[in-house]
């Protein structure tokens, strides 16, 4: 087997797609792999033509070799048949290899575009489109888009083979040549009325399946809550109802699709019967030789392949068009955070980082806490400082507006660890280091700082242990400590931790508070917390109420003078 050059996936840059319409997106995809598509089409033409010309060689062997009683002619044309068979086998193998390559390239370029867009848009995307629907688009629609590129080379070969065979027939018999030349597109056009209902049915089924996936995804995320309130029966009824909608939508697809697939058999059979009937009549009249009739029958039989391929291509492109529409629905959701037209270079170090809207100001090397009446206010401040929302006009880095730097630079130097720890499946070592490699001693150092070495001791394979989906084999406190270790390993210039110890006991919390300063003494750390154990270790504590600093100082100073601080931290009743 000839090994063709391949492109390693994922791509370094999947490109900037044309988002104006599904057709424009598919055209853009085709341009990205135009070389491979052209080569694939070339082998597709060779594969189809060798099949078509095989019948011309068989007919010539009969007329010139057998009927002409010439062994030389017979062996000559037998040799031509063998050569055409070899060409067909070689072109067929290479065509198939390239078809799969084009299919995978289109599919995974689409998946990569969606993945990149998800990382850029963040919650803006999931606020508009359910997460389950996004997953369904990646799993199903991207594959359907790739399927159209799989069939493309065979379709091009089918068109060229049809033209060549038609002209061969025209040169032999005008009547039969016109029947084939006009009959194939005429019969193919009979399937056109089925295209619109197929397109509409597939779109409706895809929409219903997306809602079903979203319903299942939301239920898995809230299964514990459902059980707690006894909502399993209600969910089951909803899921059954939506499943029935998907089933009925799928049944509606069956009618036009069955018509198309039946046409792949019936329409070529009509053409074959007509050509064979008229060819036999011409042989009986003496205007056509026996070998030519065999060739004509072979042509008519062969032309079932181009016709079936054309119908298959129509079905595949219809599915791809619907899938591209679903992909564009995702890609056309804009991000909350936009890039500056001419971004500044990020400073060598963060000396000051301030939010002039709230009054919070951070200096290099400080360990600072922010105390708010509600967790929502702390998350809002963390999102603004971490640039996860568009409202950053009053956030400044070394006196320069944060909006003047690129989002990528912000993400590289400012890390926000959310209150809800999230772990994915895979080896623990790479779960803690998703973007690179770090020596194990540094991983152990971060685990010690987050008081998580006991978790490692309890795992038989240590850092090589497998983390189950969502880290469900760990307790809430263990997941939180592992998430904290992962955040510490980023070595971010500014690390923002939102309630990093809310799920651990007081003894563990005290150890974490003692160790954070030693590990982060060269960098700036902001912790949103109301834990006295954490607050007493801070260099500075800000009390933020209604989005603005109400007071600031050390933990002891605030306990003495701020009733608001005591109310939040010590849960004192207001006078």
Structure-model confidence comparison of residues 468 and 323, the more confident one:
323
What's the pLDDT at 336? 81
- Asked if residue 540 has pLDDT above 60, the reply is yes
Which of 331, 360, 376 is where one domain is finished? 331
Same domain, 559 and 523: yes
Same domain, 318 and 455: no
Query: Which tokens sit at 45?
Result: 């033409």
What is the C-alpha to C-alpha distance for residues 539 and 361, in angstroms, rounded to an integer?
Answer: 12
- Asked if residue 6 has pLDDT above 60, the reply is no
Which of 283, 299, 331 is where one domain is finished? 331
What is the C-alpha to C-alpha distance for residues 472 and 452, in angstroms, rounded to an integer?
Answer: 16
Q: Which H or E run includes 494?
A: strand 494-498
Q: Please tell me the least confidently modeled range out of 178-187, 190-199, 249-258.
A: 190-199
Confidence bin at 529 (pLDDT 50/70/90): very high
What angle, 0 to 180 degrees and rounded to 10, lies between the N-to-C axes of helices 142-172 and 174-189?
A: 160
pLDDT, the chain, mean = 81
Which of 299, 331, 363 is where one domain is finished? 331
What's the pLDDT at 360? 96
- Asked if residue 89 has pLDDT above 80, the reply is yes
Tell me whether residue 575 is in a domain: no
Same domain, 387 and 522: yes
Same domain, 301 and 450: no
Within 13 Å and on the Cβ side, how many CA atoms surround 29? 32
What's the pLDDT at 200? 63
- Domain count within the chain: 2
Structure-model confidence comparison of residues 251 and 135, the more confident one:
135
Tell me whether residue 12 is in a domain: no
ω before 10 within 30° of 0 (cis)?
yes
Same domain, 479 and 427: yes
Same domain, 529 and 385: yes
Give Cα separations from 146 to 95, 321, 510 (angstroms): 15, 11, 54
- Asked if residue 544 has pLDDT above 90, the reply is yes
Residues 85-103 have a mean pLDDT of 87
Structure-model confidence comparison of residues 574 and 354, the more confident one:
354
CATH number at residue 399: 3.40.50.300
Structure-model confidence comparison of residues 267 and 323, the more confident one:
323
Same domain, 386 and 319: no
Same domain, 305 and 425: no
Same domain, 270 and 398: no
Same domain, 265 and 414: no
Judge whether 246 and 133 are in contact, CB under 8 Å.
no
Q: What is the pLDDT of residues 221-241, one digit of tens each?
A: 555 544 555 556 666 677 777
Judge whether 428 and 489 are in contact, CB under 8 Å.
no
Write down the pTM of the prediction: 0.67
Structure-model confidence comparison of residues 414 and 162, the more confident one:
414
What is the C-alpha to C-alpha distance for residues 166 and 476, in angstroms, rounded to an integer?
Answer: 72
CATH number at residue 66: 1.20.1560.10
Confidence bin at 288 (pLDDT 50/70/90): low
Tell me whether residue 345 is in a domain: no
Confidence bin at 275 (pLDDT 50/70/90): confident
Tell me whether residue 266 is in a domain: yes
Residue at token pair 């100082």 = 553
Confidence bin at 566 (pLDDT 50/70/90): very high
Same domain, 413 and 558: yes
| Largest distance between two CA atoms of the chain | 119
Structural domain for 53, as ranges:
22-331
Q: Please tell me the least confidently modeled range out of 157-171, 351-365, 533-547.
A: 157-171
The secondary structure of residue 527, as a DSSP letter, is E
Same domain, 295 and 425: no
Beta-bridge partner residues of 360: 355
Q: Please tell me the least confidently modeled range out of 111-120, 178-187, 225-234, 389-398.
A: 225-234
Q: What is the chain's percent helix, strand, coil content, to nearest 5?
A: 65, 10, 25
Query: Which tokens sit at 165?
Result: 């065979």
Tell me whether residue 9 is in a domain: no
Q: CB atoms < 10 A from the CB of 39, how many?
A: 19
């Amino acid at each position: 087997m000839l090994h063709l050059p391949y492109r390693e996936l994922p791509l370094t840059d999947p490109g900037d797609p044309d988002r104006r319409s599904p057709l424009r997106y598919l055209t853009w995809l085709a341009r990205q792999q135009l070389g491979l598509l052209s080569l694939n089409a070339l082998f597709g033409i060779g594969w189809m033509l060798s099949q078509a010309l095989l019948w011309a060689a068989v007919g010539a062997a009969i007329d010139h070799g057998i009927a002409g009683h010439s062994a030389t002619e017979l062996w000559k044309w037998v040799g031509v048949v063998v050569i055409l068979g070899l060409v067909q086998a070689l072109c067929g193998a290479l065509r198939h290899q390239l078809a799969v390559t084009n299919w995978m390239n289109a599919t995974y370029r689409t998946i990569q575009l969606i993945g990149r867009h998800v990382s850029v848009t963040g919650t803006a995307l999931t606020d508009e489109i359910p997460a389950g629907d996004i997953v369904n688009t990646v799993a199903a629609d991207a594959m359907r888009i790739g399927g159209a590129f799989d069939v493309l080379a065979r379709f091009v070969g089918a068109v060229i083979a049809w033209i060549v065979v038609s002209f061969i027939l025209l040169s032999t018999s005008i009547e039969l040549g016109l029947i084939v030349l006009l009959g194939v597109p005429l019969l193919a056009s009979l399937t056109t009325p089925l295209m619109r209902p197929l397109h509409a049915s597939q779109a409706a089924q895809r929409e219903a399946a997306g809602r079903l996936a979203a319903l299942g995804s939301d239920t898995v995320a809230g299964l514990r809550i459902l059980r707690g309130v006894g909502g399993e029966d209600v969910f089951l009824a909803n899921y059954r109802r939506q499943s029935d909608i998907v089933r009925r939508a799928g049944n509606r697809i069956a009618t036009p699709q069955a018509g198309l697939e039946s046409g792949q058999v019936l329409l070529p059979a009509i053409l074959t019967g007509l050509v064979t009937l008229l060819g036999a009549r011409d042989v009986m009249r003496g205007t056509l030789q026996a070998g030519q009739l065999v060739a004509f029958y072979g042509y008519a039989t062969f032309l079932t392949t181009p016709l079936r391929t054309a119908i298959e291509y129509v079905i595949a492109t219809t599915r791809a068009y619907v899938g591209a529409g679903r992909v564009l629905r995702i890609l056309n959701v804009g991000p909350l955070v936009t890039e500056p037209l001419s971004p500044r270079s990020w400073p060598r170090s963060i000396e000051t980082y301030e939010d002039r809207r709230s009054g919070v100001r951070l200096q290099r090397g400080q360990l600072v806490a922010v105390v708010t009446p509600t967790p929502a206010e702390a998350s809002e401040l963390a999102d603004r400082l971490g640039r996860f929302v568009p409202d950053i006009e009053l956030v400044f880095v070394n006196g320069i507006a944060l909006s003047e730097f690129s989002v990528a630079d912000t993400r590289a130097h400012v890390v926000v660890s959310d209150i809800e720890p999230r772990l994915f499946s895979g080896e623990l070592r790479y779960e803690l280091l998703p973007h690179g490699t770090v020596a194990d001693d540094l991983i152990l150092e971060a685990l010690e700082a987050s008081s998580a070495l006991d978790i490692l001791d309890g795992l038989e394979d240590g850092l090589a242990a497998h983390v189950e989906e969502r880290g469900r084999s760990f307790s809430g406190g263990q997941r939180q400590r592992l998430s904290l270790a992962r955040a510490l390993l980023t070595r971010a210039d500014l690390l923002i931790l939102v309630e990093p110890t809310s799920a651990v006991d007081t003894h563990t919390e005290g150890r974490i508070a003692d160790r954070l300063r030693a590990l982060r003494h060269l960098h700036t750390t902001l912790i949103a917390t109301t834990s006295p154990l954490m607050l007493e270790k801070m260099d500075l504590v800000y009390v933020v109420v209604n989005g603005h600093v109400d007071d600031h100082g050390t933990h002891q100073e605030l306990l003495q003078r701020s009733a608001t601080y005591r109310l939040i931290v010590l849960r004192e009743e207001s006078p």
